[in-house]
Amino acid sequence: MHDNIFAAPRDRIGDFSFDDTVASVFPDMIKRSVPGYSNIVSAIGMFTGKFSKPGTALYDLGCSLGACTIEMKRYAAENCRVIGIDNSEAMVSRAKEIVKGYKGNAEVSIITGDITDFDFEPSSVMVLNFVLQFIEPAKRKALLKKIADALVPGGILILSEKFRFPDEKIQDTLFNLHLDFKRANGYSELEISQKRTSLENVLISDDIPTHISRLKECGFSHADVWYQCFNFGSIIAIK
């Protein structure tokens, strides 16, 4: 379904939420809004193929409609369980149906829950694909520490985010290229500006050095960017 949620002028713009309206247009919205999204999702399958260890849990944290869950299911090692978690019931009920239609090596469970308040089983691959940016900044470090603690040695976290850049010129340039990307994908100036207002208090991005140093402080031995397109990208962190 085509995303035209912000197409009509609104008197009052509330905070963005992952409700039923958003869930119903989500695949279209994320592909037209996040540069590199499809490349990252398919690469998450390849990372799963390389790093998943037999008998471990694989987590898709903030799974939305299960795009990454599907790739992880396809490439999982033997006897793995893929667990998708999201706190939006609208996303979870749809994801359960969607994921059923895809083949793979692993059993999948999709669970409604808050990832900041979840006890993870020993895991070899964990994914936060454009999710940490929606977690309250004060809770981010504790979540990453819990993820690192749950990972077996050599296990990975794939952390994809919208980045902020400390250099103002780079920030402006990449920010404006992202707006061009949205225009090229058919979003109007009104849609872009209303969505931006709605996300203002909800999506709070960090810069790359903050991500990398925090991951190391949380117990990861290695962390670096493996993909970037404008101000969006993805980090691999290895325990």
The 9-38 site mask, x for binding ligand GEK (CB under 6 A), equals: ---------x-----------x--------
Q: How far apart are CA 141 and CA 218, in angstroms?
A: 7
Pick from 76, 77, 91, 156: which binds ligand GEK (CB under 6 A)?
91
70 binds ligand GEK (CB under 6 A): no
CA-CA distance, 146 to 215, in Å (whole number)? 11
Residue from 48, 52, 88, 231 binding ligand GEK (CB under 6 A): 88
- Please tell me whether residue 58 binds ligand GEK under the rule CB under 6 A: no
Place of tokens 């994320």: 30
CB 61 within 8 A of CB 100: no
| Cβ nearer to ligand GEK, comparing 164 with 216 | 164
* One residue of 43, 57, 58, 63 binding ligand GEK per CB under 6 A: 63
User: Quick check: 62 binds ligand GEK (CB under 6 A)?
Assistant: yes
φ, ψ dihedrals at 41, nearest 5°: -60, -45
Minimum CB distance to ligand GEK smaller for 114 or for 224: 114
Query: How far apart are the C-alpha atoms of 112 and 90, rounded to whole Å?
Result: 10
193 lies in the site for ligand GEK, by CB under 6 A? no
- Determine if 112 is a binding residue for ligand GEK (CB under 6 A): no
By the rule CB under 6 A, 95 interacts with ligand GEK = no
Which of 48, 129, 194, 234 is in the footprint of ligand GEK by CB under 6 A?
A: 129
Quote the longest CA-to-CA distance of the chain: 53
Residue 69 binds ligand GEK, judged by CB under 6 A = no
Q: Which is nearer to ligand GEK, 55 or 102 (CB)?
A: 102
For ligand GEK (CB under 6 A), the number of binding residues is: 21
Between residues 26 and 220, which has the closer beta carbon with respect to ligand GEK?
26
Cβ 129 to ligand GEK, closest distance in Å? 4
Q: In Å, how far are 36, 176, 191 from 43, measured between CA atoms?
A: 11, 26, 30
Q: Is 130 in the site for ligand GEK (CB under 6 A)?
A: yes
Q: Determine the length of the chain.
A: 239
Are 149 and 118 in contact, with CB atoms under 8 Å apart? Answer: no
Instruction: Report the interface residues with ligand GEK, using CB under 6 A.
Output: 18, 30, 41, 62-64, 67-68, 85-88, 91, 114-116, 129-131, 134-135
